[in-house]
């Protein structure tokens, strides 16, 4: 008998594919207390979320219009999981089938579970597409997956292995370092050491950090490993900053745009930004970095501002994802979606 296919369930935040999808996406995002804790408890969260969405809807739609009318995150997530499944099938000689569970857009966890059940899937590797663990991102997605299992009545259907972090996986670090090297090579050789290497990660509400969330330590470990891999090619000046703060809560600092202003005042003229916590292009890279931060850099007097290309479907990165899933397959499966089962 042939071995039935193993499902690879990729967890990610998601994003609106069209401008009409922006409102429901923002509503789900700001209503989720697992990622942004607005004042007033659960009821206050719903009320404030509605106000924030109404106030921001038109401007956010304009932002998405400026990058083509929607987020490309579905396309890249599908390519990443397809490439991972194909590599595993070639390596292990059996079937793997990819599925997507977005937290704030479709396909949802409910959609993915029903699709896997319809396809006859029993064994599932749950793979976060956030390299660095946070209770606000991977943690929230895993908890939503548990709730979806009960909502759909499929809680006894599957056996799971969960990969909830891979910030220090050698293949991932090599792929990220490769992106940095290829970007540095666009500068003349005699100027590369003077380039400021600015790593920018998605920020996190300080309330999570104060409760011991490991995300900042994971990001710092990735940055340190990339710099170590660069060796003598590493620019002398490198910094870590945080972007994408939104809503009336305190966020992890320093802010990327503030660091750019400080670099300009200090006389920096060449800056390479590395979006370290993002593995695919979406609004944070295509709009926030490529447009807002590029403008901020020009106003600060930085004459050459570039960013590394996102990992997207880069072959070395897909090799790394396949290695991560293959490592997870060596662990015992469970009928529960267990947290903190790292590769």
* 77 part of a folded domain: no
* The predicted structure's pLDDT at residue 1: 43
**Phi, psi (deg, nearest 5) at residue 66:** -70, -15
* 190 part of a folded domain: yes
* 278 part of a folded domain: yes
* 163 part of a folded domain: no
**Can you give the CATH number for the domain in which 243 is found?**
3.40.50.1400
Cis, peptide link before residue 254, omega less than 30° from 0:
yes
Q: Encode pLDDT of 226-281 as tens digits.
A: 999 999 889 999 999 999 998 778 999 999 999 999 999 999 999 999 999 999 99
Lowest mean pLDDT among 25-29, 112-116, 325-329: 25-29
* 136 part of a folded domain: no
Domain count across the chain: 1
Q: Encode pLDDT of 38-48 as tens digits.
A: 777 777 778 88
* 70 part of a folded domain: no
* 314 part of a folded domain: no
* 324 part of a folded domain: no
pTM > 0.75: yes
* The predicted structure's pLDDT at residue 325: 98
For all residues of the chain together, what is the average pLDDT? 94
* The predicted structure's pLDDT at residue 2: 67
- Structural domain including 219 reads 170-307
pLDDT-based confidence at residue 179 (cuts at 50, 70, 90): very high
Mean pLDDT across the stretch 284-313?
Answer: 98
Lowest mean pLDDT among 52-66, 174-188, 243-257, 329-343: 329-343
pLDDT at 343 over 70: no
pLDDT at 20 over 70: yes
């Amino acid at each position: 008998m042939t071995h039935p296919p193993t499902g690879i369930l990729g967890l990610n935040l998601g994003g609106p594919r069209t401008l009409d999808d922006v409102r429901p996406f923002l509503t789900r995002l700001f209503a989720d207390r697992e990622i942004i804790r607005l004042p007033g408890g659960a009821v206050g969260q719903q009320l404030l979320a509605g106000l924030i969405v109404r106030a921001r809807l038109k401007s956010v739609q304009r932002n998405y219009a400026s990058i083509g009318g929607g987020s490309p995150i579905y396309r890249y997530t599908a390519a990443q999981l397809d490439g991972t499944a194909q590599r595993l099938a070639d390596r292990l000689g059996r079937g793997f089938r990819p599925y997507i569970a977005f937290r704030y857009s479709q396909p949802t966890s409910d959609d993915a579970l029903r699709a896997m059940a319809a396809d006859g899937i029993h064994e599932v590797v749950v793979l976060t597409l956030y390299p660095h663990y946070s209770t606000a991102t991977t943690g929230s997605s895993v908890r939503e997956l548990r709730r979806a299992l009960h909502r759909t009545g499929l809680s006894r259907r599957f056996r799971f292995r969960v990969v909830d972090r891979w910030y220090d996986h050698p293949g991932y670090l090599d792929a990220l370092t490769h992106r940095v090297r290829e970007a540095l090579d666009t500068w003349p050789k005699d100027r590369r050491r003077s380039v400021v290497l600015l790593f920018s990660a998605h920020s996190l509400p300080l309330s999570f950090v104060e409760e011991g969330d490991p995300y900042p330590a994971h990001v710092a470990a990735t940055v340190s490993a990339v710099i170590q891999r660069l060796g003598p090619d590493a620019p002398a000046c490198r910094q870590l900053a945080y972007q994408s703060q939104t809503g009336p809560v305190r966020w992890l600092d320093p802010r990327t745009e503030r660091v750019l202003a400080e670099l300009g005042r200090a006389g920096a003229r060449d800056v390479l930004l590395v979006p370290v916590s993002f593995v695919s292009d979406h609004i944070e890279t295509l709009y926030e970095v490529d447009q807002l931060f590029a403008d901020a850099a020009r106003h600060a007097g930085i004459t050459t501002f570039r960013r590394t290309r996102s990992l997207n479907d880069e072959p070395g990165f897909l090799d790394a994802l396949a290695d991560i899933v293959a490592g997870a397959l060596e662990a015992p499966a469970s009928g529960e979606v267990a947290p903190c089962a790292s590769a």
